[in-house]
Amino acid sequence: MSASGSIVRCRGCGALVPTEGIPPEHAYIDASPGCWSLFAELRGREASDPGYLAHGCSITDAYMIQHPGVPGRQSSQSVWVHLVGLQLVVERGMRPLDAIDVVRRILVGHPVFPWLDPPPSLGATTVADVAAAGGPDAYADAVRHWARDAWQAWAIHHERIRDLATAALAGTAQADPH
């Protein structure tokens, strides 16, 4: 937390985060600066300690779908591809780093994705929970829990996401996400 101890609820995911922080780098990410700073802290852990690195894709996927932003080309694409990443890891048991190749197939040709209305709850587990995990083993458990929780929150869209993931795995990722 911040030196002053002041916290706010993130406008994106609802996590209790420091009031201070760096503003999101992406125009379409609707996160409070303190929340974005916690995400950056997790990314920093991965860069400095190989014990954390294997989970990077899952934390990015979970974070992004908990901060979907507003309807637009970039935010729509972001939600779709990060949901596919989580589907591959959570439901199909794929390693997070391997899911990247499948997601890349989806992005070939820069398809346009329809907006997916976010669920009323984006999941109870947030970046703040993962940031509080101490040590690589606790971190890995927290990331797996976060990924499952964030994926489950979007259950209303699971069938469409599964269809796109299946098409990507079959090599027909140009399948229409509509």
**Residue 175, in any domain of the structure:** no
Whether residue 174 is predicted with pLDDT greater than 60 in this model: the reply is no
- Mean pLDDT computed over 41-70: 87
- Mean pLDDT computed over 129-139: 92
> pLDDT tens, 103-119?
988 888 667 899 999 99
Whether residue 13 is predicted with pLDDT greater than 80 in this model: the reply is yes
Residue 25 sits in which domain range? Answer: 7-169
Q: Count how many Cα atoms sit within 13 Å of the Cα of residue 24 in the half-sphere of its side chain.
A: 17
Q: What does the alpha-carbon distance between residue 10 and residue 122 come to, in Å, rounded to a whole number?
A: 12
Q: Which residue has the tokens 């971190």?
A: 139
**Residue 26, in any domain of the structure:** yes
**Residue 112, in any domain of the structure:** yes
Provide the number of structural domains found in the chain.
Answer: 1
**Residue 176, in any domain of the structure:** no
**Residue 102, in any domain of the structure:** yes
The pLDDT score that the predictor gives to residue 3 is: 44
The pLDDT score that the predictor gives to residue 110 is: 67
Where residue 177 falls among pLDDT bands split at 50, 70, 90? low
> pLDDT tens, 158-173?
999 999 999 999 886 5
**Positive or negative, the Cα torsion across 143, 144, 146, 150?**
positive
**Residue 93, in any domain of the structure:** yes
The pLDDT score that the predictor gives to residue 81 is: 95
**Residue 2, in any domain of the structure:** no
Q: How many CB atoms lie within 10 A of CB 62?
A: 33
**The overall pTM is greater than 0.85:** yes
Residue type, 84: V
Q: Which residue has the tokens 């990443």?
A: 85
Helix (H) or strand (E) segment spanning residue 35: helix 33-48
Of 28 and 116, more confident? 116
**Residue 15, in any domain of the structure:** yes
